[in-house]
A and B are shown apart, each in its own frame.
Chain A
Amino acid sequence: MSFVTLARIQKSFGHAAVVKDFTLAVERGEFVTFLGPSGCGKTTILRMIAGFEQPSAGVIRIGGRDVTHLRANRRAIGMVFQAYALFPNMTVARNIGFGLKVAGKPAAEIEARVAEMLALIKLPDLAGRYPHQLSGGQQQRVSLARALAPNPQILLLDEPLSALDARIRVALREDIRALQRKLGITTIFVTHDQEEALSISDRIVVMHAGAIEQVGTPAEVYNRPKTRFVASFVGTLNTFAGVVADPAAGALRLGETTIFTRAPIEGARAGETRMLALRPEALSLEGAADGANALRVVIEDASFLGAVVRLKARFGDTILLADVFNAVGLALPQPGETVELSFRREDVIVLEGD
């Protein structure tokens, strides 16, 4: 049985439906990320799990217990906020010990746990500092320690890295993941940053307009986006329309060119138009191997990005982006030159819907 279940959750503010029929099961110890643009409802769901918002409909269960209408301070949840939210009138040690203090734990136990948590977040010497004496990254580590100190059932992370600069963000996200694995705590993480989501999660829930677009592992979401939204939101993707020529053979027509998918196109009929997607890194300048697809394109531009070179190419009315690895002696095509871009059948993604 799943540890956290959200069954048909809905949330409206006035006439605006912010969350629509959201159903998800999270396993014990799993790290699940809600990924989506601003206003997609991801934070609202997190706040409903925390108990700060009441669902308009649906049931929330944690550890098999219905907590839908349970007050936030009775849910045994740890939460880390985007803006740290450390109590400014308390030292680091008192912040971390706050949850244990309100639970009425003895001073010695609180002291020992605070020391343990400070060691865990690698800030053992900062117990006596106040929040305004800490950097953003240190504050967020303390915030994490404070959330974990009372041994919560689940950990909720509401865009905890968004306020930090890039270098600290990467370091802290690795630390968060390492801590989560070490403690085995069920974690739900909210972010609009696809790189964060891909790097840290066991599973990603991609959301759009209050509904789930796709749930899957980072590899599934990246390599096999189900919808055009997921394709466009997660990573860079070339999307274009193709006409189904032979569904059983996985054949599609792109103008005068025929390409093939790795498998039959399920539920499609010949003559139907389907949206297709290709990752830029799936396209290659090297000649098509046996059975691979190829498109003749006109190069419009080439941008040197260090490890890769991004080519901008025109295929009919469609602009395609192709990332090729930089190598010493790489001969790049010139703008205006016609070249062949090849890709494997496995790399063709047939998107659901229009």
Chain B
Amino acid sequence: MTSAPAASRRIRLPDWAAWLGVAPFFVFAAMFLIAPTAWLLVGAFQDGDGAFTLANFVRLGQPSIRLSYALSLEISAASAALGALFGLALALAALRGGLPEWVRPTLMTFSGVASNFAGVPLAFAFMATLGRLGLVTVLLRTLGVDLYAHGFNVLTFWGLTITYLYFQIPLMVLVVTPAIDGLRREWKEAAETLGASAFQYWRMIALPVLWPSALGAALLLFANAFGAIATAYALTGSSFNIAPILLYAQIRGDVLHDPNLGYAVAVGMLAITGLTNLAYLALRSRTERLR
């Protein structure tokens, strides 16, 4: 007697049950992603009376809005570049530096928590540590280093960038770790038997293999920072006019209430993050070819 193949013994759900299982995801995506995006797109092409117009997009060229975009792009680029650099260095040291085994899980656990630590709690944490009377500021002052006397302010561009780095660096660690794990031991050993030094191995093999992943992760960090609002708003209020804060100001109904302009600002942000994500996906597919 022959036994049935293992695959046919596997419990197989009827089609309708499988669709029912994934239905909450599609309902959720439809309600909170697709419908609002469609609403934004339609609203961006309407004036206050609901008539079709391109004026909202023309107004994106206003100096104040251009400045907001520029500020958002700069802060996102700075926090992404620094986050990617420090995150990559941290991950390489923890994963390939020959450190004790407990370092890796500790770093991963911390990164999992810290990469999601944003908004009001993060803003408060940085005010409490790097604010004018913050713990670290005072401690450094007692050691003779007066940050504020040297021009530092947590409410400035670099202050906000450092605050963003708190979640950007751990996010980089989490995203780039699989790529570092993908560097096979045999590549290093093969390079060694062929006479390569450790430096030559990193320069000619490891870093070229790693760079698409690292650059892709940096793009993800960029998109992450570009869409962030809660941390910046909680830390600086409306004094720091990055694009998400400008958008928030247009739709919340205070002085600058102009929801259709807000929708156009949002569409602009969608386009930037969308392009960033497309570039990330392209780099990821290149990385997968290198495996």
Contacts and interface: CB of A to CB of B under 8 A. Distances in A.
B215 interface: no
B220 to A, nearest CB: 22
Most buried by A among B184, B193, B200: B193
Given A81-B186, A102-B196, A88 B290 contact: yes
B290 to A, nearest CB: 4
Interface in B199-213: 200, 204-205, 208-209
8 contacts: A50-B193, A52-B192, A73-B197, A75-B193, A83-B186, A102-B196, A146-B194, A156-B193
A250 B189 CA distance: 53
Interface string A81-106: 10101011110000000110011000
- Chain B binding surface SS class: helix
Contacts of A156: 193
Contacts of B291: 88, 132
Most buried by B among A81, A143, A146: A81
B209 A85 contact: no
Contact of B192 (A73, A88, A130, A146): A73
Interface in A122-136: 130, 132
Interface in A284-326: none
Interface residues of A, number: 31
Given A85-B184, A88-B291, A89-B205, A73 B190 contact: no
A90 B289 CA distance: 12
Given A81-B189, A89-B290, A150 B205 contact: no
A77 interface: yes
A207 to B, nearest CB: 21
Contacts of B190: 79, 81, 85, 87, 143, 146
B110 interface: no
A36 interface: no
B234 interface: no
A72 interface: yes
Interface in A22-57: 50-52
A74 B197 CA distance: 9
Contacts of A87: 187, 190-191, 204-205, 209
A210 interface: no
Nearest to A152: B193
Contact of A103 (B193, B195, B289): B195
Nearest to A74: B195
B189 A85 contact: yes
A102 B290 contact: no
Most buried by A among B189, B200, B290: B189
B81 to A, nearest CB: 23
A79 B189 contact: yes
Nearest to B208: A89
B99 to A, nearest CB: 19
Nearest to B196: A102
Nearest to B211: A89
A51 B195 CA distance: 12
Interface string B221-248: 0000000000000000000000000000
A52 B190 CA distance: 10
A98 B192 contact: no
A102 B195 contact: yes
B184 A99 contact: no
Nearest to A75: B193
Contacts of B194: 73, 78, 98-99, 102, 146-147, 150
Contacts of B195: 73-74, 76, 99, 102-103, 150
B209 A72 contact: no
Interface in B174-191: 184, 186-187, 189-191
Contact of A72 (B184, B189, B204, B289): B189
Contacts of B192: 51-52, 71-73
A103 B194 CA distance: 9
Contacts of B208: 89
B189 A52 contact: yes
B186 A85 contact: yes
Interface string A155-197: 0100000000000000000000000000000000000000000
